[in-house]
Amino acid sequence: MSGLAGGGPLIDVHVHFQHAASGRADWREDNARRLEIGKRIGITLHIASILGSWGKTSPTYFPSPDDVTAGNAAMRAIAAEHPGLIGAYTTVNPNFTRHALSEIAAGAAHGQLGIKLAASRRASDPLLDPIGEVAAKHGLPVLQHIWQHRRGEVPGQEISDALDLIALAKRHPAVAFILAHIGGGGDWSHSLRALENVPNVYVDLSGSGVDRGMLERSVAAVGPARLLWGTDLTMDTGLAKLRALAVLGMSADDLAAIRWKNAVRIFRLTTITDRP
């Protein structure tokens, strides 16, 4: 069956799910809706995370260790219910180094695909180095929440931008870092210019932003081999970007790289389905 975005594999690298402890009474319906929309679009693999309690018992971007553990356990349970369709990131709060490393170790026992860093500690901070080291050891990509060109502090987050992530990426050249949601707010042109010559940072195309010119600049700045498709909160914008990419004049191989092949490579996926 072919989805609205065409047939073949399609991997969404930026997905979130809800869980019972997140305080939304409709969390099951919310998760089911995402999967149903994903099926209509044609998504064949959702790589997802849960950020603690989503603010119910500790802040979304500064989740407590207990909430991190509960969120990761819930995420693994959701993935286990949908083998082959959902993969899990392990979310960590780097301010609690020992706990972060233990969560990643727990994730390893359950086939985690990557590590999710929210906005608990600036990406350039040395406190993130132990996480970079363990990511390199296990071959795990790291998805870092990003504000494109931060101009100061932001309430509720210790926000990072491309320059902060680049500082971390240069200290850990063996790790694939994913700059989150280029369309997620802020000046995307600043991020793309900064990333031109940083080979181990990938750009995730998710986010509600659908500025004309953003996709062309992304392709020109980092090339199709460092672009990953994703949705985050807004799946309609993800579909729109796929359709816009398809008319940019790229080769079929380049489009496939963005839709799924780059993700297969950096997440070291061994099996991939081509049907949602």
Partner 1 sequence: MTTPDARRTTHLVDHNALVGPYPFRSLPDPTPARLLADMDRLGIEQAWTGHVPSAWYRDCAAGNDELFLGLGAHRKRLLPVPCVNPAFPGWEREIARAKTEQAPAIRTYPAHFGFSAAGSAMAELTAACAESGLELALTMRFEDGRQKSRLDNAPDLIGADVRAAIRSHPKVRLLVTNADRAIVEEVHWGSAPDESARIRYDISWIWGAPEDHLGHLQRTVGPDHFVFGTHFPFRLPENAIAKLDLLP
Nearer to partner 1, 59 or 209 (CB): 209
124 binds partner 1 (CB under 8 A): no
Is residue 216 within the footprint of partner 1 (CB under 8 A)? yes
Residue written as token pair 């995420």: 75
Question: Is 14 within 8 Å of 26 (Cβ atoms)?
Answer: no
Amino acid making up residue 190: H
What one-letter code names the amino acid at 52?
Answer: G
Q: Under the criterion CB under 8 A, does residue 189 sit at the interface with partner 1?
A: yes
Euclidean distance between CA atoms 151 and 148, whole angstroms: 9
Residue of 81, 196, 211, 274 interacting with partner 1 (CB under 8 A) = 211
Contact between 213 and partner 1 by CB under 8 A: the answer reads: yes
Q: Report helix, strand or coil for 95.
A: coil
The span from the CA of 206 to the CA of 46, in Å, is 13
Which range in 52-60, 67-75, 197-205, 227-235 contacts partner 1 by CB under 8 A? 227-235
- Position among 105, 236, 274, 275 found at the interface with partner 1 (CB under 8 A): 236
Q: CA 262 to CA 255: how far, in whole Å?
A: 10
What residues have CB less than 8 Å from 26, skipping those under 6 apart? none
Handedness of CA 254, 258, 263, 264 (dihedral sign): negative
Interaction between residue 66 and partner 1 (CB under 8 A): no
Among 66, 125, 129, 187, binds partner 1 (CB under 8 A): 187
Nearer to partner 1, 85 or 240 (CB): 240
What residue ranges bind partner 1 (CB under 8 A)? 4, 30, 33-34, 37, 40-41, 147-149, 185-189, 208-213, 215-216, 233-237, 239-241, 243-244, 247
